[in-house]
Amino acid sequence: MKRIISIRSYGVKLGSTGNRFVITGKGVDKQTIPALDISEIILYGKAINITTSAILLAIKNQIPIFFMNRYGRPYSMISPIVASGTISTKRAQYSALNDRRGFELARAFIYGKMKNQERLLRLRANSERYDRAVQIRMYADNIAKLADSLLNIEYDGHYNETRAKIMRLEAEAARDNYWKGFALLLPDGFIFEKREHRHARDPVNILLNYGYGFLLTRVINAIIISGLDIHAGFLHADRAGRESLALDLIEEFRQPVVDITILKMLRLKELKRDEILEVDDSNNVRLSKGTLHKVINSLKERLEHRSDMYSIEDRIVEQARDVARFLRGEITEYKPFII
């Protein structure tokens, strides 16, 4: 199984010698790792050095390097100037913007997300006290109904209006049902009022943000491998210039990869409430280094675990390829990944 190089510590240097990466720095044991063993490099924070030879080695081995901001979200990546795949896939992608294929993909992504929200709540409700379980199942039932409504949306040629309908149902499922059910599943001592992105200061939101940021690097990767353009999305189509297609495809993987893992870690007390966060020099709240490594390792395990032939990691690539196949007309339906 390939490894991820994930570096957070101040002053650490990532270099290379021959076909190996070399990690050095004060307070760090020197590590030498063959490039063949690495799938991805993730650099968190501001004070890490990387050499041009390490960048060249990564590019030669098609290892993406992601730079993550202090919210745990990728803000940049190093890409080879030579892109993978042919332009015919991107061409199909662009021609599908605002047509029925785009609509069907947008709906499928959110349908997958809703079904996964529903299933996560039902699954976890079983281990809850009776009254709480009833309430959680009620949220799951509501989401199931919203998923049905989603399938009833017809495409009438007005792309943006139809997309807005999908987004409204999505918001209702998430805000009014899923996250309320999710809050009930948290162990005592964790308060979760609502999902917050950038300026979250509570442990659960910050854990989710880092988790989604990590997952996003995998989704971006899968999209690039499939020859698609990460910037031309179908659901998040209005966010010009954003990594819209990655934000589309991530939807069906949020619950099965991140939420389920974070919830498990909190419920099993793998993360201790007072040790999750730390305050950096600029008084920003962020994930502590120890927690970051635990979370990334757990997410990596989750991604690589094989229940049948395929790991979820394989499935992310497979789903991205299905998006490409659907756009090129090689398959007639795109089926989202559902747990």
Q: Which residues bind a copy of itself (CB under 8 A)?
A: 13, 43, 45-53, 55-56, 59, 67, 69, 74-87, 90-91, 93-95, 97, 220, 229-232, 237, 240-244
Between residues 12 and 276, which has the closer beta carbon with respect to a copy of itself? 12
Q: For 266-291, b where at least 16 C-beta lie within 10 A, e where not — what string? A: beeeebeeeebbeeeeeeebbbbeeb
Residue with tokens 């409700």: 125
Distance CA 164, CA 162 (A): 5
Q: Which is nearer to a copy of itself, 69 or 149 (CB)?
A: 69
Instruction: Specify the residue, 12 or 173, whose C-beta has the smaller distance to a copy of itself.
Output: 12
Question: Closest distance between a copy of itself and the C-beta of residue 10, in Å?
Answer: 10
Q: How far apart are CA 227 and CA 229, in angstroms?
A: 7
- Burial per residue of 201-228, b for 16 or more beta-carbon CB atoms within 10 angstroms, e otherwise: ebbbbbbbbbbbbbbbbbbbbbbbbbbb
How near is the Cβ of 53 to a copy of itself at its closest, in Å? 4
Q: 47-52 long-range CB contacts below 8 Å, 24 or more apart?
A: 47/10, 47/11, 48/7, 48/8, 48/9, 48/10, 48/11, 48/12, 48/13, 48/14, 49/11, 49/12, 49/13, 49/14, 50/13, 50/14, 50/15, 51/13, 51/14, 51/15, 51/16
Nearest CB to a copy of itself, comparing residues 16 and 142: 16
Find the shortest distance in angstroms from Cβ 58 to a copy of itself.
9
Going by C-alpha positions, the residue among 171, 122, 121, 125 that lies closest to residue 146 is: 171
- Which residue in 184, 181, 211 sits closest to 276, CA to CA? 211
Q: How many CB atoms lie within 10 A of CB 338?
A: 15
Cβ neighbours around 117 below 10 Å, total: 27
Q: How far is the CB of 198 from a copy of itself (least distance, A)?
A: 14
Please provide the distance, in angstroms rounded to a whole number, between the alpha carbons at the two ends of the chain: 23
- Please give the order of strands across the beta sheet that includes 13-17: 13-17, 20-24, 31-34
Nearer to a copy of itself (CB atom), residue 11 or residue 187: 11
Report the SS3 class of residue 85.
Answer: coil
Report, in Å, the least distance between residue 86 CB and a copy of itself.
Answer: 4
Closer Cβ to a copy of itself, 211 or 256, answer by number = 211
CB of 306 to a copy of itself, least distance (A): 30
Nearer to a copy of itself, 17 or 297 (CB): 17
Q: How far is the CB of 56 from a copy of itself (least distance, A)?
A: 6
The least CB distance from residue 15 to a copy of itself, in Å, is 8
- Judged by beta carbon, residue 9 or residue 135, the one nearer a copy of itself is 9
Q: Which is nearer to a copy of itself, 177 or 221 (CB)?
A: 221
Rounded least distance, CB 230 to a copy of itself, Å:
8
Tokens of 59: 């590019």
